[in-house]
Chain A
Amino acid sequence: MIFLRYAAFRLLTMLLTLLLVSALVFMIINLPPGDYLSNQIDELRATGQTVSVAKAEFLRHEYALDRPIVEQYFIWIGVMPGPHGFSGLLQGDFGWSFEFDQPVADIVGQALWLTVLVNLAAVLFVYLVALPLGVIAAARSKTWVDYTSAFVGYLGLATPNFLLALILFYYGHRYLDLPIGGLMAPEFEGEPMSFAKMNSILIHLIIPTFVIGTSGAAAMMQRLRANMLDELSKPYVETARAKGVPPARLLAKYPLRVALNPFVADIGNLLPSMISGSVLVSVVLGLQTIGPALLTALKSQDQFLAGFILLFVALLTLIGTMISDVLLMLLDPRIRYGERK
């Protein structure tokens, strides 16, 4: 019961945060002076194409870009009627991309799923790598296992993502014959999902997952190792050892469970940084996620597209944080977020 109430409360705060974030996002993308159409109009005026100016002016009115910024925001999220009645995010209308001359929904449609897929794969990678390595590094601390993993971890933290991507791409293609660029072989593009397409996507995912996950895995491994070491020096571990509990069982039974807490809580930090990373890596590797579209949109002030993508990215993060909070509550009975007496 307490759990359900907490989950509901958490969902509510998430929605509120999302609302605030949407306002923030809208403000940020409107920071540069003018908008896509007004820039276009200026350009057309300068070249003397008055007919097109009229068209652009018409479009400006059509998308309510000539109204005050606050009204634009309310129309965008769909709580205020625009020139064509209520048609905002709440109604499922994501707006129009001027740069691509298509509805935003059409541009980002498939990319959204691929973004989620890439990030999910990276999160899985982080956990699969960091968990065993962190535990082993702590259990065998001050041996070559520990030093090697620490070294690789530091290197992973220090190498800029996009360069790691380029290098791995080059060597992956040269020695392991991994495909270059994209998230699937070109012949599958736009095809319905099939076993062969799935296979192609999985092979293409290897390098991006590795690149996006490395720094996160390194950070998490270090933290897990530190936590484990703290636990391992406690008297109860010594007692267990003295009583002859086998080492593997000893590790898994208590210290690991205590050290696992931050592991789950950390997803709140991990997710934003990984999604950041995935945007950058997608641009470099030409993955069909929302990263490249975001970059183009930001550069050309294509505000509805940029706004939607930024909001979506923030939503992914918020959902991740919420899941981690709820999981943490399930995992550790000591954690309760109520009022302190």
Chain B
Amino acid sequence: MATLPDGRYVDDAPYSENENISAPERPDLDAPNWKLVWRRFRRHKLGLVSGLFLLCAYLMLPIAGFIAPYTPNERHADHLYAPPQGVHFFNDGKFIGPHVLPTTAKADLKNYRWTYTVDETRPMPLEFFCKRETYNLLGFIKTDRHLFCAPEGATLFLLGSDRLGRDVFSRILYGAQLSLTVGLIGITVSFILGIGFGSIAGYFGGKVDWAIQRSIEILRSLPELPLWLALSAAVPSHWGPVAVFFIISVILGILDWPGLARAVRSKFLSLREEEYVKAAEMMGASPTRVIRHHLLPNFSSHLIASAMLSIPAMILGETALSFLGLGLRAPAVSWGVMLNDAQNLAAIEIYPWTATPMLMIVLVVLAFNFLGDGLRDALDPYQH
């Protein structure tokens, strides 16, 4: 770097008169689509952070039992409604490693609640890779190792405990397994139906199109929640939690597809007149082939973005249903089921930590929204 007398900086590298600096660079032209998309997406900082957050959240699901210090339905009868406990590192000004302070409950008969006193004199170090209650790692490996847990005689309620003395933090981790996958199953159902009906309506047109259009209109004119309520009220109450969970996700998906079908249909209506579709048809490609290999790839990006934006609606739907007692029921653990406990004013006033699942819901829904926005911008080739 050379400095001119007037203080400006000039690059020393030789300069060629013939170079066209506005021409795109060769590697840019050859870059595969996903690379270009990734480059654009990287610029959307909020979307990137959200994506990472969601990735971590979903990767955590299979090993939730390992991270959680307790199992979801483990009760601590002498620690009901215990407030959140911190992990401390220093005791009496000296570093003694991560430890917790034991608490003892006392019934406050005047205000009719539990009060907890912290014993600062007996710091108890946390244990790592310790053996406690058994759980299923990855859903099928029976094990009793936990990443960290409280030593004997102390408790570790990072986010407090609930009405029955169950650890809220552990329950949030276990609840995520159901609450976060509801959206995935629902969106799969919604995609299969939406793309199926949408492409049939758009590609064939005519009477089929008319019939599908009308049914979409009818489904869209019905308010979602009462319909969810009615459908989930129809789920037999003797079914196991897993079956109920599955059927609830399918219900959420069944009511979500019309919006997607409409988008697919309108896109197909314009795309089916393109030359390449005509060419494929004349070469004898079957409608299924034309739809799957020539039409759908055209807007798979749009589909991905819209999926990201409809997953949160399903997560909120599951929460609402469980909250009203028509979705998942205990002993299943989901964020909605947990909030069901916190649905009175007393809980919010006296035991605010029982409402922490709400914070998680807000975070996850926000993250999906930002990720969807970021993806939509990145995948749109016409926006620069």
Contact = CB atoms under 8 A, between A and B. Distances in A.
A17 interface: yes
Contacts of A268: 220-221
Interface in B284-343: 312, 316, 319-320, 323-326, 339, 343
Contacts of B345: 166, 169-170, 180
Contacts of A157: 365, 369
A157 B218 CA distance: 25
Interface stretch (B158-166, B201-209, B224-232): B224-232
Nearest to A23: B218
B192 interface: no
Contacts of A21: 218, 221-222
B361 interface: yes
Contacts, number: 115
Contacts of B325: 299
A166 B348 contact: yes
A338 B50 CA distance: 45
A273 interface: yes
A162 B316 CA distance: 10
Interface residues of A, number: 49
B355 interface: yes
B223 A32 contact: no
A143 B343 CA distance: 38
A17 B218 contact: yes
B234 A17 contact: no
Given A298-B229, A298-B230, A170 B223 contact: no
Interface in A306-341: 306, 309-310, 313-314, 317-318, 321
Contacts of B361: 158, 160
Given A158-B365, A272-B220, A32 B312 contact: no
A29 B223 CA distance: 15
Given A170-B345, A280-B324, A295-B229, A28 B234 contact: yes
Interface residues of B, number: 37
Contacts of B226: 275-276, 279, 294, 309-310, 313
Interface in A270-300: 271-273, 275-277, 279-280, 283-284, 294-295, 298-299
A159 interface: yes
A160 B225 contact: no
Contacts of A240: none
B348 A167 contact: yes
Given A272-B223, A310-B226, 16 more contacts: A17-B221, A21-B218, A24-B218, A159-B362, A160-B316, A160-B319, A160-B361, A162-B323, A167-B348, A275-B223, A280-B320, A284-B343, A298-B230, A313-B226, A314-B221, A314-B223
25 contacts: A21-B222, A24-B218, A24-B222, A29-B230, A31-B230, A32-B233, A158-B312, A158-B362, A158-B369, A159-B358, A160-B316, A162-B343, A166-B343, A166-B348, A169-B345, A170-B348, A268-B220, A272-B221, A275-B226, A276-B226, A279-B229, A280-B324, A284-B343, A298-B230, A306-B230
| Minimum-distance CB pairs A-B, first 4 | A276-B225, A31-B234, A158-B365, A298-B233
Interface of A: 17, 20-21, 24-25, 28-29, 31-33, 154-155, 157-163, 166-167, 169-170, 180, 268-269, 271-273, 275-277, 279-280, 283-284, 294-295, 298-299, 301, 306, 309-310, 313-314, 317-318, 321
